[in-house]
Structure 1
Amino acid sequence: MSQNQAQPDDELLEKFLDNLMNDDERASFSGALQENPARQAEAKLQQRIDDSLQRMFAITTPPTTNPIITPTLDAKSGERLASRPVGQWRRGAVVALAASLMIAAALTLAWQSARRGGLDVAARPLVDIYRNAVTSGFEPTYECHEPERFAATFERRQGEPLRLLELPANMRMLGLAYTGGLSRNATAMLAYVDDAPVMVFVDRSENDLQQAVQEAGGIHVFREERDGLVFYEVTPLESPRVTPFLARATENAP
């Protein structure tokens, strides 16, 4: 039985690709590849992969040595020492390449998600956010009663400065909250109409998500779109009462 016949095909292919065969072995294996087109195509593909990996994971070595082909000699005996099989290097490089691609894909998805406004919060139903706010005490992230700061917040997050028109006596604004719902940048305003808690969510029109605005359990959701923005008023009342008082910073009262 020849040495080639005693070794598995994969091991022979590794030796062939790593230039570890003598002339007779290479001639014999090359002849076998000629008779097996599928195996020959596999060998050519693997060779192209190897060439790419060699370029991507190049090892800096002195110009007179080749860490892949040249064996290591014992300084005293002159005998050839066992070196790490290049097939192992190939498999390690493939693993490293796969890991690099997975990391790159994860970073790409994260970057795309950030550009789209943070889809990790986009699917949150506005009614659920409203109920959580009411249950936890209906407190804003911060009180924002200064007109300049109020307008600057919406300009920074939605690209459009807004101001709150003068409210009637039965209404009061508590402040702003960053609760998400449509996108990561969605800005919510908390208010009371009489004793009813009301939230108005504001975001860019392109971040509008119909699945986030379904009514439930007697809580209504009213939608309005203008000036490139979308407004959702979430309220137990039968009509929107707060949204009309959010206007562009240059608009006058209706």
Structure 2
Amino acid sequence: MRLGVAGPVGTGKSSLIATLCRALSGELSLGVITNDIYTDEDARFLRSAGVLDPERIRPVETGACPHTAIRDDVTANLLAAEDLEADFGPLDLVIIESGGDNLTATFSPALVDAQLFVLDVAGGGDVVRKGGPGIARADLLVINKTDLGEHVGVDVERMTREGRDARQGSPVVALSRHDEASVRLLTGWVRDTLAHYRTGEHTPVDPGPMAPHFHAGQDGGETHAHTRTDGTTHTHDHAPAHAGQRA
């Protein structure tokens, strides 16, 4: 099974993966693929943490916005997964970490069989109310770093409750890697999802595409299209960065 881990920068995706590897590597054959734009920093972090054989952790340098390699063209990640399987197979689970992206970043179901979306309390208690396909429709929402709530003025119970409301009852785990009970909830969800996958009855669900967008307009400006929550789309243009500047 391929499990995607997405979420904004700094939410603790790599630490979450390290926690999963520590808890599950004794019973499952694991591999990890990390995505960064121009570096292999996340892979180096996981290798240095000693959570797996370093060769079981493979970096992908996306060279562009992180979502492109997990949704638009997943070839590099599929090849990395195939290489891991060829070298260490049969694998039970390959965890694929997205590069840090925004609230609309989701994995293509052509790449992963299940996906979780990570927020953290240090990002603000209101972020869960902002919604987006990852928050609303990923297979699991993880609200991470709950031990920091008292230090950043966030009501963790309220944030978790609002996460459940946003997901209309779909699972939410409030996680701290220092809290064994919450780690057991996370690993239990992974085990249950893997068991369902092994029955052959699991179908990857697409949480929904990123909002349509263009990085550069043909006229030299930038055109941005946004999809509202009601499904309608509107566009607007931005002048190039140098507009109005003197030569």
Indicate the TM-score class for this superposition, using the shorter chain for normalisation.
under 0.3
Q: With CA pairs under 8 Å and 6+ residues apart, which has the higher RCO, 1 or 2?
A: 2
Which of structures 1 and 2 has the bigger CA Rg?
A: 1
TM-score, normalised with respect to structure 1: 0.22
- TM-score, normalised to structure 2's length? 0.22
